[in-house]
């Protein structure tokens, strides 16, 4: 009986140690980073920062670029490196049309699930791909905002600045309508907001609904006097 108890106790201690390790390695830095960003000052200028994650995608990014061009809007794209390698023509178009290109990991694995070696490899491969594409990213947005302790050393090594967001519209969800996305964008975004939308991945054709919402929302924002800027035009980054 004593042996069973002590065995259970050892297992419990090991589980607690593993949980504490995971918290220090990834969970706490991720949560603290998100909270810090959400609370960071946004300024009083009538400016919005549109950012798009998870692309480029064959199906949606071209249409998104058309919409941005139509309204003279410049934005920031946080691209998945493997997706970028698969669609170099879309990367070239982003560059030609004055958009900022940042990095959004190699293939969208959460840093919470990556070992230190896996994290280092993710950055190394991503930066090699971006270099081959003629892009030198300065900004990095981690998938889901997740980081681990190795993420910080990789950011320093490659001179990358982490960028999160103030506003999400849950545009990746399967059941969300374009009206819901538009409502959330109009209600949640204000002076200086960094807005995170998705031109790739997403469930059930989600980016299509995001594009429809954006087509209706950009003209309303312009009517309200908002201007659109890239992430590198923010004063505090
Ligand atoms: Zn993402």
Ligand 1 centroid – CA 15 distance (Å):
30
Confidence of residue 7 (pLDDT cuts 50, 70, 90): low
Decide: pTM greater than 0.95.
no
Residue 237 inside a domain? The answer is no
Residue 162 inside a domain? The answer is yes
pLDDT tens, 103-137?
999 999 999 999 999 999 999 999 999 999 999 99
Ligand 1 centroid – CA 162 distance (Å):
14
Ligand 1 centroid – CA 55 distance (Å):
9
Ligand 1 centroid – CA 4 distance (Å):
45
Ligand 1 centroid – CA 197 distance (Å):
9
Ligand 1 centroid – CA 71 distance (Å):
25
Ligand 1 centroid – CA 199 distance (Å):
10
Q: Which domain holds residue 30?
A: 2-232
What is the CATH number for 188? 3.20.20.370
Per the structure, how many domains does the chain have? 1
Query: Rounded to an integer, what distance in angstroms lies between the CA atom of residue 233 and that of residue 230?
Result: 5
Annotate 126-165 with b (16+ C-beta within 10 A) or e (fewer): bbebbeebebebbbbbbbebbbbebbeebbeebebebbbb
Ligand 1 centroid – CA 175 distance (Å):
18
Residue 127 inside a domain? The answer is yes
């Amino acid at each position: 009986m004593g042996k069973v108890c002590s065995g259970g106790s050892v297992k419990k201690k090991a589980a607690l140690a593993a949980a504490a390790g995971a918290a220090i390695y990834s969970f706490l830095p991720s949560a603290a980073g998100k909270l810090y960003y959400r609370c960071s000052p946004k300024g009083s200028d009538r400016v919005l920062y549109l950012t798009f994650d998870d692309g480029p995608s064959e199906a949606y990014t071209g249409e998104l670029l058309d919409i941005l061009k139509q309204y003279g809007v410049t934005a920031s794209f946080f691209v998945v490196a493997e997706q970028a390698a698969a669609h170099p023509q879309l990367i070239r178009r982003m560059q030609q049309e004055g958009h900022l290109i940042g990095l959004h990991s190699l293939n969208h694995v959460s840093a919470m699930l990556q070992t230190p070696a896996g994290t280092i490899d993710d950055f190394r491969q991503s930066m090699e791909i971006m270099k081959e594409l003629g892009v030198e990213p300065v900004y990095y947005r981690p998938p889901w905002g997740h980081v681990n302790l190795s993420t910080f050393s990789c950011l320093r090594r490659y001179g990358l600045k982490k960028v999160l967001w103030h506003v999400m519209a849950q545009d990746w969800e399967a059941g969300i309508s374009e009206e819901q996305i538009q409502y959330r964008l109009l209600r949640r975004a204000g002076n200086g907001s960094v807005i995170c939308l998705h031109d790739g991945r997403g469930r059930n054709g989600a980016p299509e609904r995001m594009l429809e919402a954006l087509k209706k929302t950009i003209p309303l924002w312009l009517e309200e006097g908002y201007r659109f800027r890239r992430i590198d035009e923010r004063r505090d980054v």
